[in-house]
Amino acid sequence: MIVSEYLDIIKNSEKYVTNSLHLKSSDSLGCVYVWLENVSGFGIRRKTFIALDNPESGISLENKTILTYIEVFPAK
């Protein structure tokens, strides 16, 4: 899976708060995205770390291959 496909999964979730997804940090080894989910009228923070395939340093972040990802809990 590539990063843009994973981000589409997040954005297409019915709990996703529109326009809340943003890139918090990134380097050649990985990136962190944060967003909000609406749970019973409350905005719940979500954060995920995505490990990237390092040899793909010449392409845009959205087109890089995901090695693994994990949700950061609690998201602060």
Strand partners, 25: 32
- Structural domain that includes position 36: 3-71
Quote the pLDDT of residue 73.
Answer: 87
Domain count, the chain: 1
In the β-sheet with 22-26, what is the strand arrangement from edge to edge?
A: 22-26, 30-39, 42-52, 66-71
User: In Å, how far are 1, 17, 59, 61, 62 from 55, measured between CA atoms?
Assistant: 16, 33, 10, 12, 15
C-alpha dihedral (75, 60, 28, 12), degrees to nearest 10:
20
The answer to whether residue 76 is domain-embedded is no
Mean pLDDT of the chain: 94
- pLDDT value at 71 more than 90: yes
**18 occurs within a structural domain:** yes
* Per-residue pLDDT tens digits for 36-67: 999 999 999 999 999 998 887 789 999 999 99
